[in-house]
């Protein structure tokens, strides 16, 4: 037996879910729609055996849906059953008149509902008397006529509106074409600005690109000096070098601040309307009657790059070094005009320019932030692997490097050695000469060690007055030869001392272990090197010992 398909058109989701549960349990294939048009589409595609229809739908009433369903040839014999609250007088008669085969009132009694569904599927239908049908059909046709008339009036109004809009579009077609060309040009310029290597290069190429892409005659970028309120030409296009050298302008600090924070971009259509005396003098000097002036920095809504960098530096424990790399932000003003043609800017051109300058400001600030972040990152990266006092590598970096050297030497079947270095008599020196001299002595010895080892060697401070070295591809005897040279050089190094105290020469003792014979891990190699260092100390200091 074929499973019967029932379509339920109802905008209430809870009702659809309840109906789905009821019909699915009793073996029917359930289809649903939340709108009249959706229901008509599904019915046309699926050809259900029965359609349940709520009279009140959001897009059209049930009477219209019924009429449209009955106009589909494949649905002519499909029974349509209306479901609704029987509160409207004549609702049952009206829906039966439009073509429904039955009417079920809400709330639904499930057993009675299922029984009636079976009856409708077997061909049972309800009807009204010819007199009632005639009455309600006349009413329905009248209502339908009124709706049709309203639709015609709405369409006529819409048509008039479209005609008016079309006339306006025809009038502004050339402007729209030009507007689109400007947008495309601005987009191309913005993309080319993103490809510049630095913020300085961006500012350098900006005037020429604006002149070409926006059909302006002159573009000047000024740097504003807070100290003397002076504008200095940084880059320009459409102005000769000789004229640039003659340009010396000033701008009121209050006006600059207003331009930067409030106006962002100022469009002067007539120089007699210029709100600032010094700006008026600039326009006169440039022989410009109509121009645009705007702030290039701080144009975007986000914080500038410098404040972001300061925040990063403070959160990462930044000190004075961090402040040194974060330069005071420079302030730039852009001046654009059509000095030769004296052609005025259109309103749409101002909108495009304003959007472009905002984009340029964001690109500039992002580029500035990126380059300063790279600089800050390199400093932080160096600080993370460097001993603050001696400027040689720290022990954490040493451990990462010895792991790498073990892997490399093992892969290529190579030797490498580890040397532990201790400064002889350093405690006595520090106690008699003072901690400042002690720190300076540590720095001198560390630098002397760096100057006398290979670039491929790694020197790190182990802690206190001890250092440790990685000596790639050196066996025990080669390492001992280098270590003895270091002993000699350090012994000759002059360290600071107080004039009133006796002279104390600082020397070093070294203990050496070698991979792989003394160990295959950093712990084993460091232990063997440490044992050799203690042996060197026992032998009288200023001595080199290799692991036995």
Place of tokens 């760096």: 450
Q: Could you tell me where the DSSP H helices lie in 101-240?
A: 110-121, 130-171, 173-194, 199-214
The per-residue pLDDT for 88 is 63
Cα 383 to the chain's mean position, in Å? Answer: 28
Give the residue from 78, 67, 83, 361 showing the smallest Cα distance to 203: 361
Token digits for 538?
């026992």
Contact call for residues 190 and 359 (beta carbons, < 8 A): yes
CATH classification code of 395-546: 3.30.70.270
The per-residue pLDDT for 78 is 92
The per-residue pLDDT for 327 is 58
Domain boundaries, the chain: 5-128, 179-382, 395-546
The per-residue pLDDT for 2 is 77
Strand 331-337 versus strand 291-295 pairing type: antiparallel
- What does the alpha-carbon distance between residue 465 and residue 426 come to, in Å, rounded to a whole number? 7
The per-residue pLDDT for 86 is 60
The per-residue pLDDT for 183 is 82
Token digits for 494?
């002059």
Superfamily of domain 179-382: GAF domain (3.30.450.40)
CATH 3.10.20.30 for domain 5-128: no
The per-residue pLDDT for 331 is 86
Residues of the chain below pLDDT 70: 1, 86-88, 141, 144-145, 147-148, 151-152, 155, 168-172, 297-329, 340, 342, 500-501
The per-residue pLDDT for 455 is 93
- What does the alpha-carbon distance between residue 316 and residue 384 come to, in Å, rounded to a whole number? 12
| CA distances, 363 to each of 91, 203, 239, 540 (Å) | 66, 11, 25, 66
User: What string of DSSP letters covers 434-468?
Assistant: -HHHHHHHHHHHHHHHHHTS-TT-EEEEEETTEEE
Q: Model confidence over 115-155: pLDDT tens digits?
A: 999 999 999 988 888 887 777 777 776 776 676 677 667 76
The per-residue pLDDT for 120 is 92
User: What string of DSSP letters covers 353-383?
Assistant: HHHHHHHHHHHHHHHHHHHHHHHHHHHHHHH
The per-residue pLDDT for 307 is 58
């Amino acid at each position: 037996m074929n499973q019967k398909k029932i379509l339920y058109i109802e905008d209430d989701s809870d009702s659809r879910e309840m109906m789905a549960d009821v019909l699915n349990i009793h073996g029917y294939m359930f289809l649903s729609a939340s709108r009249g048009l959706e229901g008509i589409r599904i019915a046309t595609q699926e050809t259900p055996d029965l359609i349940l229809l709520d009279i009140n739908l959001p897009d059209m009433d049930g009477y219209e849906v019924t009429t449209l369903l009955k106009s589909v040839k494949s649905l002519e014999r499909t029974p349509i059953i209306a479901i609704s609250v029987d509160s409207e007088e004549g609702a049952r008669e009206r829906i039966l008149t439009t073509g429904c085969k039955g009417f079920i009132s809400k709330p639904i009694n499930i057993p009675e509902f299922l029984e009636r569904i079976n009856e409708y599927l077997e061909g049972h239908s309800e009807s009204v008397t010819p007199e009632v049908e005639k009455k309600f059909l006349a009413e329905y046709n009248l209502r339908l006529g009124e709706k049709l008339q309203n639709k015609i009036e709405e369409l006529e109004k819409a048509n008039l509106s479209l005609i008016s809009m079309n006339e306006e579009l025809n009038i502004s077609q050339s402007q729209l074409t030009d507007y689109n060309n400007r947008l495309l040009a601005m987009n191309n310029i913005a993309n080319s600005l993103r490809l510049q290597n630095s913020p300085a290069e961006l500012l350098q190429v900006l005037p020429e690109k604006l002149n070409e892409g926006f059909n302006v005659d002159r573009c000047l970028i000024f740097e504003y000096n807070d100290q003397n309120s002076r504008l200095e030409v940084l880059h320009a296009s459409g102005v000769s070098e000789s004229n640039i050298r003659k340009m010396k302008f000033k701008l009121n600090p209050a006006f600059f601040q207003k331009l930067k924070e409030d106006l962002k971009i100022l469009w002067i259509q007539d120089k007699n309307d210029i709100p600032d005396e010094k700006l008026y003098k600039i326009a006169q000097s440039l022989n410009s009657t109509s121009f645009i002036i705007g702030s290039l920095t701080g144009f975007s809504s986000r914080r500038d790059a410098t404040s972001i960098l300061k925040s990063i530096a403070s959160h990462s424990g930044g000190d004075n070094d961090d402040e040194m790399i974060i330069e005071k932000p420079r302030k730039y003003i852009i001046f654009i005009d059509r000095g030769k043609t004296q052609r005025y800017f259109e309103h749409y051109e101002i909108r495009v320019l304003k959007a472009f300058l905002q984009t340029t400001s964001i690109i500039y600030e992002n580029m500035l932030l990126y380059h300063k972040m790279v600089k800050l990152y390199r400093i932080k990266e160096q600080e993370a692997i460097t001993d603050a006092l001696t400027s040689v590598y720290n022990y954490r970096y040493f451990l990462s490097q010895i792991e790498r050297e073990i892997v490399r030497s093992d892969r290529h079947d190579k030797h490498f050695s580890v040397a532990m270095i201790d400064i002889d008599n350093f405690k006595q020196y520090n106690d008699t000469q003072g901690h400042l001299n002690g720190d300076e002595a540590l720095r001198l010895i560390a630098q002397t060690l760096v100057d006398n080892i290979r670039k491929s060697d790694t020197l790190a401070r182990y802690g206190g007055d001890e250092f440790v070295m990685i000596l790639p591809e050196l066996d025990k005897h080669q390492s001992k030869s280098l270590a003895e040279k270091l002993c000699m050089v350090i012994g000759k190094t002059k360290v600071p001392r107080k004039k009133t105290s006796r002279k104390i020469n600082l020397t070093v003792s070294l203990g050496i272990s070698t991979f792989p014979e003394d160990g295959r891990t950093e712990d084993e190699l460091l232990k063997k090197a440490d044992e050799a260092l203690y042996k060197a100390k026992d032998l009288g200091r200023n001595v080199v010992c290799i692991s036995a």
